[in-house]
Amino acid sequence: MDGNGRWARRRGMPRSVGHKAGADNLESMCDYLNSIGVKALTVYAFSTENWSRPQDEVDALMDLLYGYLLTVEEKFKNRNMKLKISGDTSAFSEKIRGAIAHAEEVTAPGDGMVLNIALNYGGRSEITRAARLAAEAVKEGKITPDDIDEDYIGGLMYTADLPEVDLIIRPSGEQRLSNFLLWQAAYAELWYSDICWPDFKEKDMERAIIDYQNRDRRFGNV
């Protein structure tokens, strides 16, 4: 959900206003994607590097996140959606962790779209975590090193219960992954847009999806 800060600055407003506009846009985007049958949407809301932002911005993001989590039960139930959080949530306050646990629990029966929010997430740390978990399983004698293959490591990713990633969209003009879904990106299609996230609307998403649908995905085959 990149470009919130620039979106706000261009309007002479504090960056936190851009994050609020970004959170509002997420809601309408979820409605749209859920309505067209998308099974899972992963959004990058807070990276392992974002802690180094000015404290007032980190605080504003935490407040926004907490406020959002409190609305999930009511909003998601009507839409049959399910919430999932990916990342190391141990770094968050007890209040936020409690709200995450509650939101995940009450939306668990939903069989509509899964909104997977990456929080305190980094692709490298996700892969490192998987390697550590595999090493521990070997050490405890649960598996042998020969059992460690792509399926095993894939099963240790936060996203193990989600479908393969088909399309990664980065708004705001940057053309890089910035530590997002590194493992999962292996065969994902990429789409870059110059539009900042708060302005990235249904019609922009539709363009990206139609372009994706016209691509020839060969998965290494001919």
Give me the least distance between CB of 146 and ligand FPP, in Å please. 40
Q: How many residues line the site for ligand FPP (CB under 6 A)? A: 18
Q: Which amino acid is at 27?
A: E
The token pair at 197 is 């996230």
Q: Under rule CB under 6 A, which residues in 61-100 are in contact with ligand FPP?
A: 61, 64-65, 68
Among 99, 114, 117, 169, binds ligand FPP (CB under 6 A): 117
Cα of 56 vs its chain's centroid, Å: 23
Strand partners, 190: 168
Spatial separation of the C-alpha atoms in residues 36 and 222, rounded to whole Å: 30
Of 58-66, 98-106, 151-159, 203-211, the segment contacting ligand FPP by CB under 6 A is 58-66
- E strand segments, the chain: 40-47, 82-86, 114-121, 167-170, 189-192
CB distance 115 to 188 below 8 Å = no
Q: Per-residue x/- marks for ligand FPP, 119-158, CB under 6 A?
A: ----------------------------------------
Among 22, 87, 112, 122, binds ligand FPP (CB under 6 A): 22
Q: Looking at residue 165, what DSSP letter applies?
A: P
Q: Under rule CB under 6 A, which residues in 161-190 are in contact with ligand FPP?
A: 172
Spatial separation of the C-alpha atoms in residues 191 and 214, rounded to whole Å: 13
Applying CB under 6 A, which residues contact ligand FPP? 1-6, 19, 22-23, 26, 45, 50, 61, 64-65, 68, 117, 172
